[in-house]
Structure 1
Amino acid sequence: MLKRGFDVVAAALGLLLLMPLLLGIALWIKLDSPGPVFFRQVRVGRHGKPFRIFKFRTMRPASEAAGKLTVGEDARITHSGRLLRRYKLDELPQLLDVLRGTMSLVGPRPEVPEYVAYYQADVKEVVLSVRPGLTDYAALEMLDENTILARYSDPHQAYVDVVLPQKLAWYQEYVARQSLKEDIRIILRTLYRLASSR
């Protein structure tokens, strides 16, 4: 209850304070390329319940048909999308998901069903026992995931064999160590990493 209360208050305050920035980003997206402001995609939430996540659109419309992973300097990413992704500003609309109760500020990042299918049963039970979050240990350690995947000739297989196992290990570590104090520490570390990124 304490974690949920913190999430609601912090998300509501964040949306209120960031409203001018959010409106500015929305306008930039509309002027930069045709298509909707938001990107909605099905992700797997707590206890395996699917939900549609909110993100600012950073790619050209219908880009998902060419694959869900983005690798390196993906040509599908818009001009505005490159900056939004670099500073994770495309994730800000997920504060709405936090208010709705489908996400938390801190928790394992929500994955698409295609990759949740690779979770081992015991790992899946642990990882999906909590609400997915905007940030966590994995998000801090793999801040530029698409650059990592660009090193491999088969990004999909690299994600399944290399990236996903590392993420799942960090997700399980978070579940084992979760507390409000730890959430605040992760949030502060995330803000610092983003502010210091170049």
Structure 2
Amino acid sequence: MQRLLDIVFSGVALLVLSPLLVPIAIALRLSGEGEVFYVQQRIGQGGRLFGLYKFATMLKDSPNLGTGTVTVKHDPRVLPMGRFLRKTKLNELPQLLNIFKGDMSVIGPRPQTKRCFDAFPASSQAEIIKVRPGLSGVGSIVFRDEEDLMHASAEPERFYDDVIMPYKGRLEEWYVANRGLWTYLRCIVVTAWVVLVPASNAMWRVFRGLPVPPQELVAAGGAQGAATPIAQ
């Protein structure tokens, strides 16, 4: 049922959003480095690599510059138009093609590069690869301000590896253990809601029983609405 819904949702979305996608593609072709799409290898179901589509928002050689595949707020590798696309998440829309093809689902653990996937604890890695990765999901919603958190840290890479990824791994493990049509539909609704109301703590009210965030993350302002978790 989830795969059927993935095909329907992604197919309809591609048709409905085509008046937006085409102008973005033209604007990218005429600006920056002239690239429209960026295809990056990510780890998918079963640990297999697949090419994830995004609108091009960074310099072509960005994986070999600065912080590599980890992006921080105000990253100098991001192109001018790319900042707008990343802020509004419009750069993620080409992944509707990945969903339609079957590489991804609408909802699931966010697909990671090998460097980022390796930052997950081994127990989280083993669970995450059991399902298709998603355009959105529990971890993506909780960490929708990930770049801001890293920018605020004096040691962004350490904070990413030692705080963000272990907790995000626990969130993704929770999703795998609780996956189902009801979880899938609720994640879609909450994703739409937090796009409209970024400061909302709806995630913690809708999904009871989420892992409690570490104190260092809460102190940094992450996991909105979970300073006193209502999801015990």
In the aligned structure 1, how far is the partner of 2:142 from the partner of 2:153? Answer: 19
Residue matched to 1:115: 116
Residue matched to 2:140: 139
Contact 1:105 1:133 in 2 (8 A): yes
Number of aligned residues: 197
Q: Decide whether aligned partners of structure 1 residues 197 and 81 sit closer, same or farther in structure 2, where only a CA change above 3 A counts.
A: farther
In the aligned structure 2, how far is the partner of 1:70 from the partner of 1:121? Answer: 23
Cα displacement (A) at 1:29: 1.6
Residue matched to 1:175: 176
The structure that has the greater radius of gyration is 2
Contact 2:42 2:50 in 1 (8 A): yes
1:193 correspondence with 2:199: no
Deviation string 1:112-136 (CA, Å, 9 cap, x unpaired) is 1122223333322211100000001
Structure richer in helix, relative to its length? 1
Contact 1:32 1:79 in 2 (8 A): no
Map 1:97-112 onto structure 2 (within 5 A).
Answer: 97-112=98-113
Deviation string 1:19-54 (CA, Å, 9 cap, x unpaired) is 111111112222331231111111000010011100
The answer for unaligned runs of 5 or more in structure 1 is: none
- The amino acid across from 2:143 in the alignment is M
The answer for unaligned runs of 5 or more in structure 2 is: 200-232
Map 1:158-173 onto structure 2 (within 5 A).
Answer: 158-173=159-174
Residue matched to 1:69: 70
In the aligned structure 2, how far is the partner of 1:86 from the partner of 1:167? Answer: 21
Cα displacement (A) at 1:108: 0.2
CA RMSD of aligned residues (A): 1.5
Residue matched to 2:222: none
Report sequence identity in percent. Answer: 36
- The amino acid across from 1:110 in the alignment is P
Instruction: Work out which structure has the larger RCO, using CA pairs closer than 8 Å and 6 or more positions apart in sequence.
Output: 1
In the aligned structure 2, how far is the partner of 1:137 from the partner of 1:160? Answer: 19
| SS class of match (1:150) | helix
